[in-house]
Amino acid sequence: MAYASRIINHSKKLRNVHNLLRQDHAVLVRCFSNGAQSSVCKIEAAERERVSKFVACNHVSSGLPRNNCSRAIMRLGIPTVGVAYSRELTCSQVQSRRGFASDAGLPPHQEIGMPSLSPTMTEGNIARWLKEEGDKVNPGEVLCEVETDKATVEMECMEEGYLAKIIKGDGSKEIKVGEIIAITVEEEEDIAKFKDYSPSTSDSGAPAAKEPAAPPPKQEPVQQPVSSPEAKSKPRSPPSEDRLFASPLARKMAEDHKVTLSSIKGTGPDGRIVKADIEDYLASRGKDVSAPTPKTKDGKLEALDYVDIPHSQIRKVTASRLLISKQTIPHYYLTVDTCVDKLLDLRSQLNSLQEASGGKRISVNDLVIKAAALALRKVPQCNSSWTDDYIRQYNNVNINVAVQTENGLYVPVIRNADKKGLSSISLEVKQLAQKAKENSLKPEDYEGGTFTVSNLGGPFGIKQFCAIINPPQSGILAVGSAEKRVIPSSGPEQFQFASFMSVTLSCDHRVIDGAIGAEWLKAFKGYIENPESMLL
């Protein structure tokens, strides 16, 4: 009874723990918000001391060593130091934790985790480190280059210190978000103490090891009734009358030429099938008996010669998204031929003006992007995406442009393409294509598109193809090459030449009905065949 009253008394005293912790946390926040330069370690040490005194005076320190006080603080809910990093990218969040001196004698340090640099990123690769172990780092300096699921992004330092240990070196792959990649310290003399440091399993984000399962209960052996010898012995069945007898050589020849023995009548002793029977059967079917399968000296088939190429992050993401698109989006396709003679004439006139003013040349693809954007403004149903609860129709017309590079396929975005001039679109496409080839695109360079244009005609001469929709969009335009064709003229037995370009619109039937897709293609064809209307 006395023991129960002591427990109740202690629980009443512990009700005020959260008030003390809240006060300590407020002090720590004020210290950082006021720009104080005092050592973080001192603040944390004072924090641990105050909580230790409080715990000791309330008789709850039984079984908890004082050198584990920092862990008790963490369990009680005191946030230590967490720094959010978002300089280059607004979506960037760097996982970092402040470590205290432990039983192993490690000084205060900061564990830097793999950051999440895009909304869809779950793991990343370390392309290369720009800092070495022992280097001094300052806020804003680039620590390393991280290869995300979309591009290679620079990761900046969050606070001043020294890079004590690189956990994941250059070329490290498939590092989960939050997994520790490096350690920083505040004092230079603490670097050597982390020479042989390795993060624990719990720190590295790996699941904790499960406790060994209890051994299964022993099962007592159950005695089985001994069967009599008479029950075990079964009478042997007489040989089947349908059994085929063939010599080993005849069986081998039949197997090599895929011949069923039951279709051959044997001429050997007791109806046995011999080599001559197989040869006669193959001759009657017109088979070449002397056509052996190519084999090596040891009798095995010759192995294929190949090279395994590892998947890059962009290849993994592209494969996953395209597979989801084909499996979940009901595609249908609409194709139309557009006469581009007037478009080519207008392009020549505009390029003459561009060269005179020192501007960049305008390509056919730039005119296609502008026409697609204006057609989306005219038929806004195609500028939409599907959700389970509604169809989202966008007010912005942002066109993704497919760019093929050595690293894979990228789709940088031209924002508000319907409101931009041809020279602006041309310059932006060239800049983004160069960044894609250099693998230096940032998330804002490829996120937020509402429609995609893929052109295999100009650079590769493909006449016509069907593209796969880029989710969550509901449409993509596949552009083929322009070719000369003979068409009828106004008079009898008269003809003329004209250049035609085939384009195919892939539509999500959940969002775009067939008539809506046809209406969009009609508007697009109108802008291509009368390009002056795009300038109005």
**Based on the number of CB atoms within 10 Å of its own CB, is 254 exposed (0-12), middle (13-18) or buried (19 or more)?**
buried
DSSP state of 207: P
* 121-154 per-residue burial string, b: 16 or more CB within 10 A, e: under 16: bebbbbbebebeeeeebeeeeebbbbbbbbbbbb
Count of other CB atoms within 10 angstroms of residue 72: 18
- Tell me the CB-side half-sphere exposure of residue 396, using CA atoms within 13 A: 11
Omega before 472 cis (within 30°)? yes
CB under 8 Å to 208, separation ≥6 — which residues?
201, 202
Contact 343, 531 (CB under 8 A): yes
Closest C-alpha to 412, from 465, 361, 448: 448
E-strand ranges in 43-176 read 96-99, 109-113, 123-129, 136-137, 142-147, 152-156, 161-166, 175-176
Crossing angle of the two packed helices 40-57 and 17-33, in degrees rounded to 10: 170
Looking at 170, 256, 345, 513, which residue is catalytic?
Answer: 513
Would residue 513 show up in a list of annotated catalytic residues for this protein? yes
Is 10 annotated in the active site?
no
Sign, CA torsion 258/260/261/264: negative
What phi and psi, each to the nearest 5 degrees, are found at residue 443? -55, -35
Cα 124 from Cα 181, distance rounded (Å): 11
Q: Which of 25, 257, 331, 509 is catalytic?
A: 509
Q: Report the catalytic residues.
A: 509, 513
